[in-house]
Amino acid sequence: MSLTRRRLLVPAALAACTTLAFGMTPAAAANTAAQPDGPALAKQLVKKVDVGAINRHLIALQRISDANGGTRAASTEGHKKSAEYIATKLEAAGFQVTRQEFPFTFAETLAEKLTAGGADVPVIAMEYTTNTPVGGITAPLAVVAVDDTSGCEATDYTADVAGKIALIKRGGCSFAQKQATAAAAGAIGAIVYNNTDGALNGTLGDPANAKIPTGGVTAAAGAQLATLGGQNVTLELRAFQEQRTSYNVIAETKTGRHDNVVMLGSHLDSVPAGPGINDNGTGSATLLETALQLGSSPKSSNAVRFGFWSAEEFGLIGSTYYVDSLTFEQQLDIALYMNFDMIGSPNAAYFAYDGDNSDGVGAGPGPYGSAQIEQTLAGYLNAKGVPTEGTDFDGRSDYGEFIAVGIPAGGLFTGAEGQKTAAQAAKWGGTAGLAYDRCYHQACDNLGNIDRVALDRNADAVAWAVGVYATSTESVNGVPPGKSKTAKQKAADRGAQRNFAAHAVAGDPHALAS
């Protein structure tokens, strides 16, 4: 995920504090040991959600992956068994569970190679890229001028780009738009280089968007390639693609208002290359344990819904399919959405999505209420002596379609391929200059790739936020807790509860309801 350093979100009273692990005095530790002010349900849930139980779920996901080709990618047996592990536990706990099936294009990389200036340059094929021939394509490199929207407009390309491989800086528009605009100018391939530290793992979003072979390289590799304009380079990018189906698992409590639902989500699928224990076993295991400890019939004002998405790694397909399957009225029933994707990275950062755009970076604020969600999540960690930074809604995880339809959103994130700065290492521990997750999208994303201290802290924040918003979403959308309902409203709630399967998939003939 694309990350830049953000403003510190720490109350003044805590500005001098760090966690005990990073040098907190015993007195300071005692001062932050108590729960911050909040509803009883939130305090109870924090006590009940245990990192040991979450780790047990991660062990299960690791073993499922090991027994099924080392992957839990969407549509594979590894994903199916992961989904059933979660679904059956939630069913046994009394939740209303829906399995929502959807079609998608499965893709798996076969070749990634770039040779320039007589040396091999690490390159990552964009998801859904078109294929080069075996052995690749060889052509002169055309360096696209750098501005805030490099390669996004036709005017960015000179007439002599035809028949060449375009080198384009990331930023300003989607990867799909960059390569499509380059193709329209006559380029036969595209290399996009990062605008921040770390590798560039990108997607074109849909096979229909793909026009020319497109890969991503680091910022440093891009800078070096830019000195080779006009020289021949060889690019080989090939992937296997096939139409398949997968399914989301969606579970909802039986109690609480079903017309003011608190929703949480995480993607359950891994990339084909590995087991995906941090990305995103950590988020999924935490949501599962939070649901089990909350119970299917909590004494709460609002219903709580959990979404375990599939095919996130192929372009946020499962979560997008879910949101788009809802009518406008059904979307209105969702008070807010919180997303948890990678919350135990081994060189962990503590990021909360920048709901109010106070950092002034990237995509701008989320829908109204997103700032309040950020305050709830970051505020809990801050009150525990864990400083946080903001991270942009950059469109790389499953909050995307929720935001697109106006649902307030937030979440936590411990970092992917971006590199930890010296200031962050001083603040949080870990190693400066190394990726937050050195095994991002690799086979080594296994049980040894987890910071369980970070996972424990973030899991507590998840539990806290669930308890807060299950009690009341008034700060987010103005709906007060415990408001008496008319007979008509109660009947509507019962109808929504009975028809949850149809509610979740809105006429989808592929729904597999339990």
Which residues are known catalytic residues?
A: 312
For residue 430, the Cα-to-chain-centroid distance in whole angstroms is: 22
Q: How far apart are CA 437 and CA 423, in angstroms?
A: 17
Mention every residue, 6+ apart, whose C-beta is less than 8 A from residue 321.
100, 102, 248
Q: How far apart are CA 179 and CA 215, in angstroms?
A: 10
Are the CB atoms for 283 and 97 separated by under 8 Å? Answer: no
AA letter at 285:
A
Instruction: Residue 213: count other Cβ atoms within 10 Å of its Cβ.
Output: 27
Q: How far apart are CA 61 and CA 193, in angstroms?
A: 33
Q: How far apart are CA 141 and CA 226, in angstroms?
A: 9
Q: Which residues face 143 on adjacent strands?
A: 167
Are the CB atoms for 190 and 170 separated by under 8 Å? Answer: no
Give residue for tokens 């946080």. 388
Q: How far apart are CA 114 and CA 123, in angstroms?
A: 6
